[in-house]
Amino acid sequence: MRFPFFIISLCIVQSVIGQHSLQLAFGVSENFRTVVVNQENLETSAILDTREKHESPKIHSRIGIDYFYNMGQRLVLKSGIRYAVTGYTSTDNTVNDGQIWASEQEGSVIPGPNTSESFPEVYEIYTNYTGIEVPIMARYLMSTGKLVPYIEAGINPHMLVESRNISTDNGQIATNLKSDKSMLSNIQFVSVAGVGLLYSISDRLFASISAVGRYHLNQNTTETNISENLYNYAGEIGFGIRL
């Protein structure tokens, strides 16, 4: 009697273990922010004008480990941990027509930069937000077989680790400073939706490719006159193993 009980127990354990899998995921995302004016004044008009004329998306990478639990033949729960950077770029293209810093003018006693005689032709500021994400998502497999399309959606809690501003003059890094993140929510929530393909390399190994969109539900500023939210679009690949 003990032997059949042992076999049944082993089968139950194997079936449970077989429902779990891990994946190493890597992605490249295009990051930007939305800016909506709630109350028009000189300050908010200047912010909106700067965004429209000088800001552009920033490319960042993200990496992490995904955990999957098969609820059935087609429904999969997804979690894990991701290291992610979001942000955007501010660019000012200055036409250099011989202008020089005031401190460089002959006879000037004004303190200022002495490393360059002229204004930079291209001045950029990279605003980066580094964080840790924990996916809480559901994935639906559209079919069964070796190559399976899927859709997924959920909410990712995002813990802000660091906010940093990096400025460059003509492509050379001028400053790399931590910025004040006290005005930002340390814990943000990110809505996520994506589509992808899952390919079974063998009974245990698999690979995936996906397109994912993310939108930060929390405001990125404490200002009441404007609404600012981060968002990004990413292409991701993953390689995993069924446990």
The CATH number given to whatever domain includes residue 204 is 2.40.160.20
pLDDT of residue 3: 43
pLDDT of residue 241: 96
Q: Are 133 and 82 in contact (CB under 8 A)?
A: yes
Quick one: which H or E segment has residue 42?
Answer: helix 42-54
Is there a domain that residue 79 lies in? yes
Mean pLDDT by groups of 10 residues along the chain of 243 residues: 47 53 96 82 76 83 96 93 89 53 49 48 75 95 94 94 75 60 73 97 96 91 76 96 93
Q: Are 207 and 241 in contact (CB under 8 A)?
A: no
Is there a domain that residue 114 lies in? no
Number of domains in the chain: 1
pLDDT of residue 128: 86
**pTM for this entry:** 0.75
Is there a domain that residue 38 lies in? yes
The string over 205-235, giving b where at least 16 C-beta atoms fall within 10 Å of a residue's C-beta and e elsewhere, is ebebebebebebebbbeeeeebebbbbbebe
pLDDT of residue 173: 61
Is there a domain that residue 84 lies in? yes
Whole-angstrom Cα distance, residue 207 to residue 91?
38
Angle, CA 217 vertex, CA 187 and CA 126 arms, to 5°: 75
Whole-angstrom Cα distance, residue 20 to residue 34?
38
With 0-12 CB in 10 A as exposed, 13-18 as middle and 19+ as buried, what is 238?
buried
Is there a domain that residue 132 lies in? yes
Is there a domain that residue 2 lies in? no
pLDDT of residue 165: 76
Q: Are 19 and 69 in contact (CB under 8 A)?
A: yes
Is there a domain that residue 130 lies in? yes
pLDDT of residue 47: 73
pLDDT of residue 179: 62
* Domain assignment of residue 169, given as a range: 19-92+126-242
Tell me, rounded to whole angstroms, the distance of Cα 158 from its chain centroid.
10
Whole-angstrom Cα distance, residue 119 to residue 174?
13
Is there a domain that residue 131 lies in? yes
